[in-house]
Structure 1
Amino acid sequence: MPVIDAHSHIYPDKIACKASSAVGDFYGVDMNAKNASASSMLAACEGSPITHHLVHSVATTPGQVPIINDFIAEQCRAHDNFVGFATMHQDFEDVEGEINRAIDLGLKGVKIHPDTQKVNMDDPRLMHLYEVIEGRLPIVIHTGDYRYDFSHPRRLKRILHTFPNLVVDAAHFGGWSVFDYALEYLEDENCYVDTSSALEFLGPRRTVELVRAYGVERVMFGSDFPMWSPVTEYNMLAAMPFTQEEFEAITWHNAERFIGQEI
């Protein structure tokens, strides 16, 4: 069966190590030995059950948006097991034009990271983005960080109520480092969550509890490469007491529904 990693970051070869180190610095994790290139990710997954990757990167300046989108589209053309998501920045001038261009490039969604982009996820500039993509493209939103308010789950709740047809993955079980707090805001909302950067922190028992609380049909497997090894993350999930049907939903079918594409 296919296994879809629904949360992976990749960067061009020439900056792959530098970008990985910058991510590590942001989270206080030693990433100096990690390479965040597409080839490194594929090599890390070789021989494993992981077959497909939802790939993206984050623009920290408006000028990076078209460059990153071109890169992600190029990687998807080179690797037919990649599903590419565009980036967007709150200060990019022609949001609608770039979203249309991203669709023409074959990209299947959008990814934003309010904390590294230093913007509230319900800022009016991003509310315009959600208006543009509602009913057209899904979006992965980094959600939660005890150090910042930009990505607070309560902000996502407002977004979901304002745009009821927006398809959202509230990454990191809806609230990285504030997992239980996120559940209070998002348990009954219309959004997906993914397992990226969560399993090691939560442990098997709490992970299963959260999957049951959100509903197995809302949870997608994600590794957060290059932060963590996709294979290690997959093996942790596979060791948990899910039924085969539940496991296939988490690692395959839910991601298909999220991107609106059969794998």
Structure 2
Amino acid sequence: MIIDAHCHVWPDEMARRVLADRPVGLDAVHDGTLDGLRRTMDAAGIDKAMTLAVANVARSVRRTNEFIGGVDRSRFIPFGTVHPELPVEENLAALQDNGVVGVKLHPLFQDVSFADARVRELLTTLAEAGIPVIAHVGCGGDRAANERGASRHLPGLVAGTPGLTFIAAHFGGYHDLDAAEEWSVGAGVHLETSWPPSVGELPANRIREIIRRHGADRVVYGSDWPMTDPAAEIAAIRSLGLTPEEEAGVLGGNLARLLGITETTRTVTA
């Protein structure tokens, strides 16, 4: 089974506008729609994908979760959104009312800082409700945004939130692999492998060592669709020289176990 842990999606009418405003040098490879993602998954041999939706402002939280809660559960795993400017109870209701199973945090686009007491309170509530979290960790924005999601905050964040299931995107340190190795590798999180424009541009020996030092059973594959081509990212993981057991775990087995997903046979759609 192959599961992609990192796929951003938007309603069809929004996807084009959102992707037109990406940072220079980070152009979308695919269209950001649910139908586009399904076609990509079929072509790449991906069984399931975590579909991520992020509300940049508090007033968009409920309608964003309404959208992501309506995805096809046979292929998609809905990860929705929260915002620290909303009361904790309102955030939780917006998730639970729409059957959203997880949360995506994005310090680059939201007012979400790993050092913020409001965020830690919110994560405590999510942990108590058994709701897993995936978050952008590292750089990729301006100085303030990079500070909000800095790798060095991660160990304290996780240690201070008992029971939290946390997936740190981009090996826990986008654009700063040194910081990821210092702060995220070995922390009580799952690391996710995406690194736009491609994880294949990183030194294979270094990535293989990071995976093994952290624990290959706590690393999950993600593409960061639509900014990358998942087929190429899967090929890059397969070229790392992992054992068959390590590779199978990273590409899907570890995430299936983490989210309680049972293996199913993929049905290719026309």
- TM-score where L is the length of structure 1: 0.91
**Shift in Å at residue 201 of structure 1?**
3.6
1:121–1:155 CA contact under 8 A, matched in 2: yes
Quick one: structure 1 residues 120 and 98, their matched pair in 2 at CA, closer, same or farther if it must change by over 3 Å? Answer: closer
2:42 aligned residue = 46
Q: Secondary structure at the match of 1:115?
A: coil
2:171–2:184 CA contact under 8 A, matched in 1: no
1:17–1:34 CA contact under 8 A, matched in 2: no
Q: How does 1:100-179 map to 2 (within 5 A)?
A: 100-135=93-128, 136-145=130-139, 147=143, 148-179=146-177
Q: Secondary structure at the match of 2:58?
A: coil
Equivalent position to 2:88, from 95, 108, 126: 95
Equivalent position to 1:85, from 74, 79, 85: 79
2:105–2:112 CA contact under 8 A, matched in 1: no
Structure 1 unaligned spans of 5+: none
User: How far apart, CA to CA, are the structure 2 residues paired with 1:157 and 1:42?
Assistant: 35
1:71 aligned residue = 67
Cα RMSD (Å) = 1.8
Q: What amino acid is aligned across from residue 250 of structure 2 in structure 1?
A: I
Cα deviation per residue 1:41-68 (whole Å; 9 max; x = unaligned)? Answer: 1112223321100111211111111111
**Shift in Å at residue 227 of structure 1?**
0.9
2:11 aligned residue = 12
Structure 2 unaligned spans of 5+: 264-270
Q: What amino acid is aligned across from residue 19 of structure 2 in structure 1?
A: S
User: How far apart, CA to CA, are the structure 2 residues paired with 1:46 and 1:119?
Assistant: 34
User: How far apart, CA to CA, are the structure 2 residues paired with 1:91 and 1:201?
Assistant: 37
Quick one: structure 1 residues 63 and 121, their matched pair in 2 at CA, closer, same or farther if it must change by over 3 Å? Answer: same
User: How far apart, CA to CA, are the structure 2 residues paired with 1:20 and 1:258?
Assistant: 30
Quick one: structure 1 residues 98 and 181, their matched pair in 2 at CA, closer, same or farther if it must change by over 3 Å? Answer: closer
User: How far apart, CA to CA, are the structure 2 residues paired with 1:51 and 1:34?
Assistant: 18
Q: What amino acid is aligned across from residue 195 of structure 1 in structure 2?
A: T
Equivalent position to 2:193, from 192, 195, 214: 195
Q: What amino acid is aligned across from residue 118 of structure 2 in structure 1?
A: R
Q: What amino acid is aligned across from residue 99 of structure 2 in structure 1?
A: G
**1:59 aligns to 2:55 (yes or no):** yes
Identity of aligned residues (%): 29
Greater shift after overlay, 124-133 or 139-148?
Answer: 139-148
2:266 aligned residue = none
